[in-house]
Structure 1
Amino acid sequence: MHKNIPVRLSVICLGLFIFQSSHAESSSQEVHQLDTIVLQAFHLDKDILSTPASIFYVEQPFVQNNMNVNLSETLKGVPGLQVNNRENYAQDLQMSMRGFGARSTFGIRGIRLYVDGIPATMPDGQGQTSNIDLNSLSHIEILGGAFSSLYGNSSGGTILTTTRKGEGQDSIRLDYAGGSHQKGQANLILQGGTTNSSEPSYIISSSYFDTHGFRDHSTAQKKLNNSKLTWNLENGSEVNWIINHVDIQADDPGGLTRAAWKENSKQVANNVQLYNARKKIEQTQTGVTWNKPLDDQNELYSMLYLGQRSVTQYQSIPKMSQLASNHSGGVIDFERHYFGLDLRWINQEAIEKTRFIFGLAFDAMKEDRKGFQNFSGDILGVKGQLRREEHNTLWNLDPYMQISYNFLPNWTLDAGLRYSNVHFKSKDYYLDNGDNSGTTEYKRLLPSLALQWEIQPELMTYVSYTQGFETPTFTEMSYPANEDDSYKFNLKAAKSETFETGLKSKNDLGLFTLALFSTQTKNDIVSAGNNEGRATFRNADKTLRQGFEFSWNKNIWQDLIAQASYSYIHAKFNSNIPAIFYDTLQPNKMNYAEKAILVPAIPNGNYIPGIAKNHAFLGLAWQPEQGVHAGIDVRYSDKIYVNDLNTDTAPSYVVTSANLGYNWILKDWTVNTFARVDNLFNQNYIGSVIVNESNARYFEPADGRNWSMGLSIEKRF
């Protein structure tokens, strides 16, 4: 037996059953696009230069030079991807890819998220990043645009994060990082490899983060635990078992009007304080992945997962607004159970020069959702009378296949086909405002096709055509934009067609990628307004997203790495959208009166809000294995329209970040320190926007100049 088995088993038990919680912006993350890296996001084993799609591989640096709290610290150099930090831990990041997902006022829409192969996006397309542990992360793969339809619903893009596998000697690592606004994160990582197939390698990470917050009423605490066990069996199989738990409590500062932002970017609206707007999130999930090579030509892959997520959110909706008969109250309270599997057969060369994948994905979710008034008598910010109670279920069963055919020495044809179908059912138990029970389903056959030509061993080009599919989420269907229609399942699924062409090259000047794309979407799901806690949505007849993306990175000299990216996205409404009138009960001082509300018409040619037309990044980093490490980066974002009418914008901005640190490796000890400054020149800018906010509180300000410092100590045994 392995001499460290007692230590290893003790460590594994500690991580799996105790999950100890401790009390912790990368300057220029290297976007590795080297042709020796095999990518998983495309399903078929391909490297960057032979993948006929916009795809990026972002390695999480082992030498820490940031707080390691948000994906916005890691993904800011990926073209086409906009990741905005709201400075609001109650609402997650605001993330969009080629303009998909920009409508979201909370959580992630339009982008599929995976953590170690396990979906972090529900079958209806609602996703979250809160359970991604950057401290134990190995790398991230970003599949942009068209070929994300390989993953089915909500496929404007796909992001796959992967936890490191334990390797080498058993070790323990302690990190602490702190900074402005009483921000701090402590982290404990235990890990070790193995050469014995009967025991697993392991990595166990536990962290505690808290902050007073940049803005008023924005304190937050986050506990995150992540474990990954890996068995490499004698028959060639690899088994990964992942367990993840996250617990978040955060105040919600909400948005500001332009005048309020200019006056004091740290303030919050009065109702936020009165009703103590806040959110509590708790999520636990586990999953197993299994790869089994049958012979030189055939391989099986399977993934099974299950999880539970509960959320209680207190909104700042005024008391009188909730007295309307159809209002669901100012407290959202739900518990969700989800599970699924993915089965895949990979075949190499059954037909000469051809690779096949045949798969079947199943996902399901059950949710008990309630709504309460956020007051009891004269006491505000507490759970009051029940105003909503429903049981929601949804599931999908998607068969899919891919083929890669190298029909000529330098020509390859890649094709994919997925039948995506999502089934919704809601049972309404709160009948005082009518029975809103119902069912619906969305189905779509999603073809994808790409032709690539290897012009030279270090130069390739491709053209592709794909069809995409995005259903509304349960949340987006909760409130019809037209209240005269009580049926909640009236939103249509968005259907898109994308044409893309690209060029990739790796030579002495570095690695270059260029992609040009055009996406026409029918029945795009867009915001119809955010009024008194009711976020409503409707379908736009046609929208158009066109643009191009460019990236370059190069190891200039020794450990000096340069990275640059630029993206241009012209996203507009491509047809007139008519106005909507509806009636809602609005209380006045004496009685209730019917008040007509207008969702205004959108002219053809208006820009889709929430999307920066131009986005650029430039970074330079010195990253040796030990010794001094340093970096600086500059990021530019164009102005962003805040509503469909394009009457106001969040201004463009340029922000600079810099870091400096030192890494010691002394026998069995590694010690790393870092110090960094973000927003070096103290720019007053808007970090993200709340699209179509009815009170014109569109703006979520970004932090000014802020600092952080950290210390990491690792001991190997």
Structure 2
Amino acid sequence: MNKTSLAFIGAAIAAPALAQSSVGTLPAITVTTPLGATPPLSVAGSVDSVPGDQLRNAQMQVNLSEAMGSVPGLQIQNRQNYAQDLQLSVRGFGARATFGVRGVRIYVDGVPATMPDGQGQTSNIDIGTADRVEVLRGPFSALYGNSSGGVMQVFTQDGQGAPQLGFGVSGGSFGSWRESLQLGGSTGPFSYMLGASHFETDGYRDHSAAERSILNGKLGIQLDDDSKLTVVMNGVRVRAQDPLGLTPQQYAQDPRSAALAEQYNTRKTVDQMQAGAIYERRINADNDLRLMVYAGERSTTQYQSIPPSAQLAASSAGGVIDLKRNYAGMDARWTTRGQLAGRPFELASGIAYDNMDEDRLGYNNFIGSPASPTLGVQGRLRRDESNNVHNVDPYVQGKWQFAEQWTLEAGLRYSTVSFDSTDHYIAPGNGNDSGSASYEKALPVLSLRYAPSSDLSLYGAWGRGYETPTLNELSYRPDGQSGFNFALKPSTSDNFELGAKTLLANGFLTAAVFHTRTADEIVTNSSSGGRSTFRNAPSTERDGVELSWLHETVSNWRTQLAYTYTRARYADAFCAPLPCSGSNLVADGNQIPGVAPQFFYAGFGYQPAQGWRAGVELRAAARIQANDQNTVSVPGYAVASLYGGYLLRLDRWTLNAFARVDNVFDKGYIGSVIVNESNGRYIEPAPGRAWMAGLSATYQF
């Protein structure tokens, strides 16, 4: 799909909305920064806030990918695999992740959903009680530390007013079903919001059934006129089959097949509970204090499809992963406001500490002899280690309006991330893999913003970010020797951005161009015998353009457009693994896999406060490379969705019914790829035409 066709599609969908003669007023919103709540127009960077109503509008409320397509620069895909989480990247950062989330930091109510080594996950996010999701892109992401190529923050609603009890049910294609319950309100100094949901599905593909339960709570206590305590808790339970990826040949024969996954009974279980507390105090008119602490535990068991023959090697870690993690942390921040040279000045300074202790076991995924095994069961122990990762990050961020229309903003975070591993499984041919490593980096950011009017903002920004290896990436050395892969360095990036934001015809228009140069990008080196190793690529470049448009009319018509062009490439050639043999050469100019060079979203709908609702959406993506060598790629696609519903407010009741059809024209396409999959199983197919419908009701006491 070329630029011309994408532009034509956008113009065709936007035309009905732009023809509306009546215009409305966009709702006032703010986004969260270390300096406090700020209107997006006043932020010298690319940031979007997706409100909870939009997340839930005519959706099953299972995955963030359902309603986040309107955020430019963000690529978030439902992999049709609940054992591997969503595929999420920001401006190409995070695209290399084969499971979970890498390169993008995630927070839920201020609590990190990304561990200190940069591994993150989205499975514990409760869309039913979400107030908003904010996505920060570009240079100022660096102020969040390790693996912050972008930042996603999810916030739970505050309970307000008389108690409200809500419940909902929805169902759809592939045996999908979701039930949910919410309770919220406030009384005196207390506010509360509690949400629970259960989702189950047979899955689009064979061997992709899953069920997931989420519990999410938020309690606010106004201690006095100047201080507030917020307590948050969150839990998730996942039981999911893993259909694995397909080779191009397997996809051509049957996109829904999962023969290898059924043979090995690949699957994953997750149990997680966490809690946090945030204390905020207004010291005086010019000074505020914020303290946040959290702790949690997560257990994961995963059965993989590694052949018994590959597990014969003494160095094999087996085909079953058994992880238990305990994690905790804190963030203390002081914010002050005053004058510098007679002009307004704000300064936030603080320190963040995060710690994760991990017990990792590995087992064979078979019993019996390798020649005649019983597969998909836990066999003998092959790995036993204790790991620790922690970071200590002091930071400071200042903002100075040195002239009426000019604002200078600068910040610095000094991040130190330390790894330590103790190997308890030492056997002939499998030496002691214990080791430790520490990385530290100063991460400065700088921006200049010019606001010629209250409706227009122009800015330029620069920042330096970095991404450490994860525990998995450090575990094994490319030369096959024992110990940590100390030769693996963190990647460092210089990020530049120029942007403009304006309120135009009561709509909100944003545009940004960006350039990122990364040194020592972490890439796959080899995968064999159940062990994956990693190395550094010399340098990469990411250049792009982001455009978005939001428009609402007083007659309840809403238009939303987003377009992203990303040129992500390897700037220098390298070979993985060494020595070079032609087939393992990654040529300079090759595209970074997993990144769609173009992505387009359009939504147009009629959304009154009550009554009938309807809308149409379009998502389109260009061809995506699947491996570093660019020898395998998947074609682009364009798919449309239709939805409708009815919202009724009746005395104390609010009733909401909806129906939706995705992929209206039943297009066969590949929704995501597993980057650099060592067995050539790159492809994760997307479903054809699919339907869903639901009903929810809320009663206010």
Residue 115 of structure 1 corresponds to: 108
Asked if 1:262 is matched to 2:252, the reply is: yes
Select between 506-515 and 368-377 the one with higher mean Cα deviation: 506-515
Superposed displacement of residue 171, structure 1: 1.6
Aligned-pair CA distance for 1:280 = 0.3
> Aligned letter for 2:363?
F
Cα separation, 2, equivalents of 1:399 and 1:349: 22
8 Å contact 1:204–1:226 — kept in the other structure? yes
Report if aligned partners of 1:655, 1:681 keep a CA contact under 8 Å in 2.
yes
> What CA deviation, in whole Å up to 9, does each residue of 1:274-327 have, x standing for no partner?
210000000000001111111110000111000000100000111111111111
Contact 1:64 1:672 in 2 (8 A): no
* C-alpha spacing 1:35/1:679, structure 2 compared with 1 (3 Å): closer
User: How big is the shift at 1:189?
Assistant: 0.8
Greater shift in the superposed pair: 465-474 or 60-69: 60-69
Q: Is the 8 A contact 2:353 2:390 kept in 1?
A: yes
Matches within 5 A, 1:315-714: 315-349=304-338, 351=340, 352-377=343-368, 378-432=373-427, 433-484=430-481, 486-508=483-505, 510-531=507-528, 533-581=530-578, 600-714=584-698
| Alpha-carbon shift at residue 470 of structure 1 (Å) | 0.5
| Consecutive unaligned residues in structure 1, runs of 5 or more | 1-26, 583-595
Give the RMSD, CA atoms, in angstroms.
2.0
Query: How many angstroms does 1:531 deviate by?
Result: 4.5
Distance change (3 Å), C-alpha of 1:511 and 1:452: same
CA drift of 1:525 comes to 1.0
User: 2:293 matched to which residue of 1?
Assistant: 304
Match of 1:234 in 2: 224
Which of 73-82 and 83-92 deviates more?
73-82
Residue type matched to 2:244 in 1?
G
Q: Secondary structure at the match of 1:441?
A: strand
Residues 150 and 417 in structure 1, CA contact (< 8 A), matched pair in contact too = yes
Matched, 1:37 2:37: no
The offset of 1:42, in angstroms, is 5.2
Q: Is the 8 A contact 2:550 2:559 kept in 1?
A: yes
Q: Secondary structure at the match of 1:261?
A: helix
2:544–2:567 contact (8 Å) kept in structure 1: yes
Q: CA deviation at 1:509?
A: 5.4
Q: 1:535 Cα shift?
A: 3.7
Q: Quick one: structure 1 residues 429 and 485, their matched pair in 2 at CA, closer, same or farther if it must change by over 3 Å?
A: closer
Matched, 1:138 2:140: no
Report the residue type matching 1:309 in the other structure.
Answer: R
- Find the aligned partners of 2:652 and 2:584 in 1 and give their Cα distance: 66
Indicate how the Cα distance of structure 1 residues 398 and 258 shifts in structure 2: closer, same or farther if over 3 A, else same. same
Letter in 2 for 1:39: V
- How far 1:529 moved relative to its partner? 4.5
Q: Would you say the 8 A contact 1:504–1:512 is kept in 2?
A: yes
- 1:239 shift after superposition: 1.6
Contact 2:34 2:348 in 1 (8 A): no
Asked whether the 8 Å contact 1:451–1:464 carries over to 2, the reply is yes
Whole-angstrom distance in 2 between the partners of 1:635 and 1:643:
24
Structure 2 equivalent of residue 589 of structure 1 = none
Partner of 2:158: 165
* Partners of 2:26 and 2:552 within 8 A in 1: no
Preserved CA contact (<8 Å) 1:41 1:142: no
1:280 counterpart residue number: 269
Partner of 1:6: none
| Structure 2 Cα separation of the partners of residues 477 and 680 of structure 1 | 45
Residue 649 of structure 1 aligns with an amino acid whose one-letter code is S
TM-score by length of 1: 0.91
Distance in structure 2 (CA, Å) of the matches to 1:530 and 1:179: 38
Of residues 233, 236, 239 in structure 2, which corresponds to 1:249? 239
TM-score (norm 2): 0.93
Distance 1:294 1:407 in 2: 26
CA drift of 1:598 comes to 9.4
Q: Contact 1:131 / 1:224 at 8 angstroms: preserved in 2? A: yes
What is the aligned partner in structure 2 of residue 15 from structure 1? Answer: none
SS at 1:687 equivalent: strand
Using the alignment, how far apart are the partners of 1:579 and 1:339 within structure 2?
A: 36
Verify the 8 A CA contact 1:189 1:204 in the aligned structure 2. yes
Report the alpha carbon displacement of residue 599 of structure 1 after superposing the two structures with TM: 8.0
Q: Give the residue type in structure 1 aligned to 2:458.
A: T
Alpha-carbon distance between aligned partners in 2 of 1:529 and 1:101, rounded to the nearest angstrom: 19
Q: Distance in 2 between matches of 1:120 and 1:599?
A: 38
Match of 2:97 in 1: 104
Question: In structure 1, what is the Cα distance between the partners aligned to 2:234 and 2:81?
Answer: 22
Stretch moving more, 180-189 or 489-498 = 489-498
Matched residue type, 2:252: K
Deviations 1:99-138 (A, max 9, x none): 0000000000000000000000000000000110001001
**Per-residue CA shift, 1:521-542, capped at 9, x if unaligned?**
0001122355565443221110
CA-CA distance at 1:479 after TM superposition: 3.0
Contact between 2:318 and 2:383, CA under 8 Å: does it hold in 1? yes
**CA–CA separation in structure 1 for the residues paired with 2:576 and 2:551:** 51
- In the alignment, is the contact (CA less than 8 A) between 2:213 and 2:236 conserved in 1? yes
C-alpha separation in 2, matches of 1:166 and 1:58: 19
Percentage of pairs with the same residue = 43
SS in 2 for 1:501: strand
Which residue pairs with 2:63 in the alignment? 70
CA distance in 2, matches of 1:682, 1:476: 39
